[in-house]
Amino acid sequence: MKIALAQQNYHIGNFEENTRKIIEGINRAKQSGADLVVFSELSVCGYYPGDFLEFKDFINKCYEAIDRIKQHADNIGVLIGSPARNLQKEGKDLFNAAFLLYEKEIKGEIHKTLLPNYDIFDDYRFFEPAFEWKILEFKGKKLAVTICEDIWNMGDNPLYRVTPMEKLMPFKPNVMINLSASPYNYAQDIVRNSIIKAHTLKYQMPMLYCNAIGSQTEIIFDGGSLVYDINGRKVKEMKYFEEDFEVFELEELLQKSGASKASPNGELHPEQSEGSEGAEKYYYSAQEVGKGEDILAYLSNDKNIDEIYHALLLGIRDYFRKMGFSRAILGASGGIDSAVTQVLAVDALGKENVTVLLMPSQFSSSHSVEDAEQLSRNLGCNFHITPIKNIFESFLGELKPIYKDLPFGLAEENIQARTRGNLLMSVANKFNYILLNTSNKSELATGYGTLYGDMAGGLSVLGDVYKTQVYALAKYINHRKKRIPENIINKAPSAELRPNQKDSDSLPEYDILDRVLYEYIELRDGPKEIKAKGYDPALVDRVLKLVNTNEYKRKQFCPVLRVSCKAFGVGRRMPVVGKYLS
């Protein structure tokens, strides 16, 4: 039996386009001689549809799409993902389902058992877990079909009480097939490979794993669909951040090559023997990846930075395309964050679709303006110089009766940032641009930004990228082709909202700050655990207080492209008025 994996980029609620893509994938599978073609989780409607699932019309359109698709499933089997109605009164109204289509009929329906309700996931809000388990028989083979999270109940601390594969093993399946929508973070490829390797070793059968590709608002799906054979060997890792299509011969995946053993961090060693016992030890969690390494070395290693660069390009490109926009605007300060954002925008959208405003004040250094100009010339994109000195002084003049003779302070700094935000939004409105925000994760974490000023924007490009990673991205970009002026990379970072201002006046040095932030945000360590690792206690208390007291700013922030295992936004839900560590 030949099985095809169709790794495709869907658009939530765009039933016409999604159906067209799926039919195109079916036709390609037919031309390739495949017997069965597999698509990703909720491929019919796109993942994740959120509260669209509460609308009967949305579910009706899913079934209408299935009716169209099944007409093309004549002499080929098709596995697609879609919401399915729960016909029982008890429980939620829907299942997260996989449908087997063949001979222009629905031949089988599998329901997702494990419904994640953590981080960005919200399956249990809408779906009822499966209450029965069965295999799908197709052309003489027994298929153990699971959906995404169903294969993730593994490791030292399983999250669920039921493991679907354990329920399916009594039916003696021949192959595992998983329809997935597994979002990207820079540890996820290692984690995915480990979970699938562990399954093939534990259950002694091959697995074909079809993952989603594309960005849905802030969530990026990186593809990287996987096929492992019965021996626990990786047969294929499909493209990352691109659509892809491959066909595999099941009989070849079922060929045993003698007893073999997988090492936790490498390939199989056939000379060593091991059965299914202990296979789970090859599974890594996201928090274990990089464990033992220096935090900054891990965050900024070549592999992670290369992945982050391509993930952000996909995130920008899909956000614009799926929103129906083509052109971006951003404010260029001559600093590292706006420079990296500008390069990413040009690489994602094309230089002709990126416009930049340089908005110097009386506190801006001449070299910052020159650096920003040089960057735009290097990139070949449009830029305009719009000084804000007169606007700023006009504000101060109007506010003089209220401010009286109070000294210059944060309010005056924020007027400058909000003036720039106002100018950027005005141009965006006038010319139908989307404003790209340039704040990084270190700044967002500590509240080092002005609401409605430099925190304005339609999409945050670097909001899940620590400052030290921004520098690594700049060096990565220049290694490929020198475009960012060296002075931007080498100078001390500054908001330039008052004379001789530097970020270090308000924040710890970024090489220390980012380590503490990672311990708290990604690893969820508390103050005692972080201090025990040798960090200055007063600094730890100060940083954690900054994070928690600035939640109100992040609540009003634009969508953040997610590249880590814990990003600000939909996956991190904190109360604004909480007292903890504040």
Domains in the chain, start-ordered, CATH in brackets?
Answer: 2-282 (3.60.110.10), 295-555 (3.40.50.620)
What pLDDT was estimated at residue 505? 76
Q: What is the dihedral of CA 183, 189, 194, 199, to 10 degrees?
A: 50
Tokens of 310: 């391509």
Of 559, 575, 557, residue with least CA distance to 449: 557
Amino acid at 470: V
What pLDDT was estimated at residue 496? 66
Tokens of 545: 């207080």
Structure-token match 């079909």, residue found: 145
What pLDDT was estimated at residue 507? 87
User: Which residues in the chain come in under a pLDDT of 70?
Assistant: 258-278, 495-498
* Residues whose CB falls within 8 Å of the CB of residue 446, separated by 6 or more in sequence, listed in order: 507, 513, 517, 543, 546, 547, 550
Q: What pairs with residue 571 in β-bridges?
A: none
Structure-token match 């892809």, residue found: 244
Structure-token match 């699971």, residue found: 146
Tell me, yes or no, if 109 is annotated catalytic.
no
**Using only C-alpha atoms, what is the Rg of the chain?**
26
The residue annotated as part of the active site, out of 41, 149, 307, 522, is: 41
CA atoms of 262 and 234, how far apart (whole Å):
10
- Helical H runs in 358-485? 366-379, 389-403, 410-431, 441-446, 467-480
Query: Strands 141-147, 136-138: parallel, antiparallel or unpaired by DSSP?
Result: antiparallel
Tell me, yes or no, if 148 is annotated catalytic.
yes
Tokens of 377: 């010339």
CA atoms of 328 and 61, how far apart (whole Å):
33
| Burial classification of residue 526, based on how many CB atoms lie within 10 Å of its CB (0-12 exposed, 13-18 middle, 19 or more buried) | middle
What pLDDT was estimated at residue 497? 66
- Helical H runs in 9-98? 15-31, 56-70
CA atoms of 281 and 269, how far apart (whole Å):
16
CA atoms of 414 and 420, how far apart (whole Å):
10
What pLDDT was estimated at residue 52? 98
Instruction: For 286-348, list the strands marked E by DSSP.
Output: 328-332
Tokens of 69: 């698709």
The residue annotated as part of the active site, out of 21, 61, 128, 148, is: 148
The residue annotated as part of the active site, out of 61, 70, 112, 566, is: 112
| Burial classification of residue 60, based on how many CB atoms lie within 10 Å of its CB (0-12 exposed, 13-18 middle, 19 or more buried) | exposed
- Give the three-class secondary structure for 2: strand
Q: What pairs with residue 437 in β-bridges?
A: 460
What pLDDT was estimated at residue 269? 37
Tell me, yes or no, if 137 is annotated catalytic.
no
What pLDDT was estimated at residue 259? 45
CA atoms of 371 and 360, how far apart (whole Å):
12
What pLDDT was estimated at residue 277? 61
H/E stretch holding 322:
helix 302-323
What pLDDT was estimated at residue 494? 74
The per-residue DSSP string of 447-484 comes to T-S-TTTTT--SEESSTTS-HHHHHHHHHHHHHHS--S
What pLDDT was estimated at residue 261? 44
Dump pLDDT digits (tens) for 333-364. 999 999 999 999 999 999 999 999 999 988 87
